[in-house]
Amino acid sequence: MFHKTKKKLSYLYATLYFLLFSLFVIVLYFSLVKLMENQQINELEDFYVKQEHDFFEHVHANTKTLSYDPNRNFFYYIYTKDHKFVHGDESYKGLKNQIEKAFGNRNPSEDLVQHYEWQEEHFLLLKKPIFNDDTVAGYIIVGKSVKSQHHFFQMTKYLLIVLTCISTVLIGLLAYFLAGKAMVPIQWSFDKQKKFVSDASHELRTPLSIFYSSLEILEIEEAHQLRPFGKELIADLKDEAETMKELIDKLLFLARHDQQQVPIQKEIITLSTLLEKVSSKFQRITPAEIQFSSEIQKNIELLGDASKIQELLYILLDNAIRYTNSGTITLTLLKNKDTVKITVADSGVGITEQELPLVFDRFYRSDAARQHNGTGLGLAIAKAIVEQHDGNIYATSTVNKGTTIHIEFPI
């Protein structure tokens, strides 16, 4: 009974946790990336300061030297403001040409920090102008490989994603378990209440039967002594006792359904034949102002309880007749790919949009329906019967145009 609520609560907790934890992880990840990058930039800036004097030395010497050492941590390239190479230290052969292609036509006075990827290597580059007095004389590009850091963050990212997913699943399971614990007292009082309704209905049946039979005896044996008013009273009392018996039977059915105690004998039934029988019965009893028709596909079978399905149809057709002053009622049965569908459509008073979700609730009756007799339990019982057959029931309606009740049973 509380399975759905428990599931809903667990989903809610898990989603909330996922959102909060993801936010935390994202902030943590990007803070770490930023922190690490700042540290790298600081290192590059220190290196830049150290190499700046090379520019003037090599411009004056007018030599273009590019030394190469693969073990060096940093590399740098110095250019004049007209993008002419002056001097450099390289630790990756061929990188200079790539960098010139990417940064060669940039403004020499611009400060730039950039990530650069080449041949599966990741570099962090810093481009800075070199000043002679206050004018830009050239620029320097310093860089270093950040492959290991890049790799580290890539791994961290995957690890955090996996951690978030696993912890969300664990939190979901934990939430489900805790929701179950929290539901124990609610379930207990709910069970008590169901048992009370079931016991009370059961206990009321016997005195009511005695009451009814006593009235019958009174009616038969004392009839000659009774005045017409007394006879009328007895007839009224019998009517009321019958209504009460019906109400108690319905309550008992619902209470037993809640406790999953309703006996149900499922067997293969020919639904088409059953519907045809019910249809011809209703054809006879529908008032003259209503045209009753049916469209029943032949040879449709269902695993179910014939008496329960019949009761279900009676409830729906009874409503259709009761809430249609004049017009049509159509009962249909057809088979889809993996469902059997029954519909009961009428052209009666209809149900408002606000009331539509409530009509399957116990004791719910619309204001318009109160002019007629009824308990408000019919559709609740219909729903319980459909649930016993693992089916689905819903209503569609337009006010003053009519109502259709749809039932789908899985095959």
Q: Which residues bind ligand ATP (CB under 6 A)?
A: 319-320, 323, 346, 348-351, 359, 364-366, 369, 374-380, 403
Phi-psi region of 400 (alpha: psi -120 to 50; beta: other; left: phi over 0): left
Buried b or exposed e, range 295-326, using 16+ CB within 10 angstroms: ebeeebebebbbebbbbbbebbbebbbbbbee
Rounded least distance, CB 383 to ligand ATP, Å? 9
- The smaller minimum CB distance to ligand ATP, of residues 18 and 364, is found at 364
Given candidates 319, 324, 330, 347, which one binds Mg ion under the rule CB under 5 A? 319
- Residue-wise DSSP of 180-210: HHHHHHHHHHHHHHHHHHHHHHHHHHHHHHH
* Shortest Cβ 19–Mg ion spacing (Å): 45
Which residue lies nearer to Mg ion by CB, 40 or 352? 352
Measured from the CB atom, is 10 or 347 closer to Mg ion?
A: 347
Q: Which residue number, 44 or 251, has a Cβ lying nearer to ligand ATP? A: 251
What is the rounded CA–CA span in Å between residue 29 and residue 164? 13
Instruction: Classify each residue of 256-273 as buried b or exposed e, where b means 16 or more C-beta atoms within 10 Å of its C-beta.
Output: bbbeeebeeeeeebebbe
Residue 386 Cβ, how far from ligand ATP at the closest point, in Å?
A: 13
Q: Which two tokens stand for residue 394?
A: 């819903």
- Of 362, 340, 348, nearest to 404 by C-alpha is 348
Q: Give least dist CB 293 to ligand ATP, A.
A: 16
To Mg ion, the closest distance from the beta carbon of 312 in angstroms equals: 12
- Binds 348, which of Mg ion, ligand ATP, none (CB < 5 to 8 A, cut-off by type)? ligand ATP
Which residue number, 122 or 362, has a Cβ lying nearer to ligand ATP? 362
How many CA atoms lie less than 13 Å away from 119 in the CB half-sphere? 7
* Minimum distance of ligand ATP from residue 379's CB (angstroms): 3
Q: How long is the chain?
A: 411
Task: Please choose which of Mg ion, ligand ATP, none residue 377 contacts, taking the beta carbon within 5 to 8 angstroms, the exact cut-off set by kind.
Answer: ligand ATP
Binding partner selected for residue 376 from ligand ATP, Mg ion, none, CB under the kind-specific 5 to 8 Å limit? ligand ATP
Nearest residue (CB) to Mg ion, 230 versus 374: 374
Beta bridge partners of 121: 118
The CA distance from 79 to 65, in Å, is 12
Task: Please choose which of Mg ion, ligand ATP, none residue 364 contacts, taking the beta carbon within 5 to 8 angstroms, the exact cut-off set by kind.
Answer: ligand ATP
Nearer to ligand ATP, 73 or 326 (CB): 326
Min dist CB 229 to Mg ion, Å, is 33
User: With respect to Mg ion, which residue has the nearer C-beta, 172 or 378?
Assistant: 378
Confirm if 162 and 212 have CB atoms less than 8 A apart: no
Output 180 or 376, the one with its CB closest to Mg ion.
376
Rounded to a whole number of angstroms, the minimum distance from the CB of residue 331 to ligand ATP is 12
Least distance CB 282 / ligand ATP (angstroms): 14
Label residue 396 exposed, middle or buried (CB < 10 Å: 0-12, 13-18, 19+): middle
Over its C-alpha atoms, the chain yields an Rg (Å, rounded) of 42
Among positions 321-380, residues that touch Mg ion (CB under 5 A) are 378
The nearer residue to ligand ATP, 301 or 318, going by C-beta atoms, is 318
Rounded CA separation 194/48 (Å): 81
Assess contact for 346 and 403: CB atoms under 8 A: yes
Burial of residue 351, with CB atoms counted within 10 A of its CB: 0-12 exposed, 13-18 middle, 19 or more buried = buried
Q: Which does 253 bind (CB under 5 to 8 A by kind): Mg ion, ligand ATP, none?
A: none
The distance of closest approach from Cβ of residue 306 to ligand ATP in the complex, given in angstroms and rounded to an integer, is: 21
CA distances to 321, 336, 368 from 371, rounded to whole Å, are: 14, 38, 6
Q: List residues near Mg ion by CB under 5 A.
A: 319, 378
